[in-house]
A and B are shown apart, each in its own frame.
Chain A
Amino acid sequence: MTTTTTTPTTSQPSPTQVASRAEGPLRPAPLPTGAGRIGWLGPLLAVLLIGVAVVLGQDAWTRLGGGQNTWLGSAISGLNGLAPSTALAVPAVVAVLLGLVLLLTAFSRRTRKALVLRGDLGAHLTTRDVARLAAGAARQVDGVLDASVTATRRKVSVEVVTTGDSATADAVQGDVARALSALVSAPRVSTTTKTTAKEGTR
């Protein structure tokens, strides 16, 4: 993969040859977006709907078979005689809160976690992978015992446990930034250091 595979017959390909073969890499497809909470809420509601159908089906099956004790019947008779009480306010509040969550979910934007590489193809990583990459880079720095990283699309926070060398933090900062330099909009890197626990607990 070091040389191009297409070898034109002349060193200067004619315009028709250029036009006839596909030039350059593939154009990038739109980035995938995470669905967010709506992504699993939809299937969950579908399952709940099937559950409602099962309850109705059990009611029909039992009554057609001559029985009277159905789940639906029990639920209806359980509601009979319900009077205002403070205890009833609890499920009411729960319902309101749940409803608010659903309303927010219905209008929420899809989550975007992808960070794009500089190359023309638009290869991408998620923030989770950026964090792992940054941790991998940080662990390779001299004097780093362990590294944990949290990443968003704008900021990478590196927390390293060091042997105590003061130069380690700068080295980590530089190496992590270098590891992420292939990203189109590289996130800001911030490094915090901790020395080994032995000193901290003394």
Chain B
Amino acid sequence: MSRTVAGFDRLVVFVLGLVLVVGGAATGAWALNLLDDVGLPASSVPQQISTGPVTDAAGQPWWAYATAAGAVVLGLLGLWWLLAHIPHRGADALRLPGSSAAGALALDGDAAVAVAAQVIAEVPGVRSASGRMVSERGQLIAEMNVVADPEVDLVELDAAVVEVSRDLATVLSRSDVRGRVHVSIARSSKGLARVA
């Protein structure tokens, strides 16, 4: 999700919240005849809602076209807004240093990170590890997800992760790629019931 969409979310939530607070407060004050207390005499506010003008407008021939146009615009806006929340972070093949007019050197970043993850998966206590290259706000990130047993030795795992990332840095040979490793812990140990 881009910053634009995140900002748009906050803006809409803010505006909608403001409308609900103000509208709710006004409706409540009107319903309980409290508007008098805030300086609005009862004679200046309607004592009954009449939707007559709207019903009249709805009877006009242009009304159906107006709602149709509104439906299309709001529907497209809603669809864009919803789809904009779907993360798409895949990265293209990495161009390696040494590329020139004579030929390009490219590396499938996903494969390199996946191999690094396989190495991490060999650490005792690690159940599985996966990795891929993602592009996040213009930044290439070698992202790895490690799932470990609750009994894993974090110090050992951490050392292995740093070691692997050193190799990965050598393989990628691009200093602009960052690394991110997320370690998650399985809920329960697997088949290691302790008898005590």
Contact = CB atoms under 8 A, between A and B. Distances in A.
B179 A25 contact: yes
Contact of A80 (B9, B52, B81): B52
A136 B196 contact: no
Interface string A113-136: 000011111111110011011011
Contacts of A35: 1, 6
Contact of A38 (B13, B71, B141, B154): B13
Interface in B144-196: 146, 149-152, 154-155, 157-170, 172-175, 177-187, 189, 194, 196
A92 interface: yes
Interface residues of B, number: 98
A80 to B, nearest CB: 4
B2 to A, nearest CB: 12
A101 B21 CA distance: 10
Interface string B78-111: 1101100100000000000000000000000000
B135 to A, nearest CB: 11
Contact of A24 (B11, B75, B169, B196): B169
B17 A103 contact: yes
A27 B170 contact: no
B31 interface: yes
Contacts of B25: 92, 96
Contacts of A197: none
A79 B51 contact: yes
B47 to A, nearest CB: 6
Interface stretch (A57-65, A153-161, A187-195): A57-65
Contacts of B65: 60
Contacts of A143: 196
Contact of A57 (B68, B169, B175): B68
Interface of A is mostly: helix
Nearest to A38: B9
A92 B27 contact: yes
Given A46-B85, A100-B21, A140-B151, A86 B31 contact: yes
Contacts of B152: 133, 136
A93 B162 contact: no
A94 B179 contact: no
B85 A60 contact: no
A98 B184 CA distance: 35
9 A-B pairs closest in CB distance: A136-B150, A99-B20, A102-B17, A95-B24, A26-B179, A92-B28, A42-B9, A60-B68, A99-B21
Given A26-B179, A77-B51, A88-B30, 10 more contacts: A27-B178, A41-B9, A63-B64, A83-B48, A88-B28, A98-B24, A100-B21, A103-B18, A121-B181, A133-B152
13 contacts: A1-B160, A26-B172, A42-B85, A49-B78, A50-B79, A53-B74, A73-B55, A82-B48, A84-B30, A88-B30, A96-B21, A105-B13, A123-B158
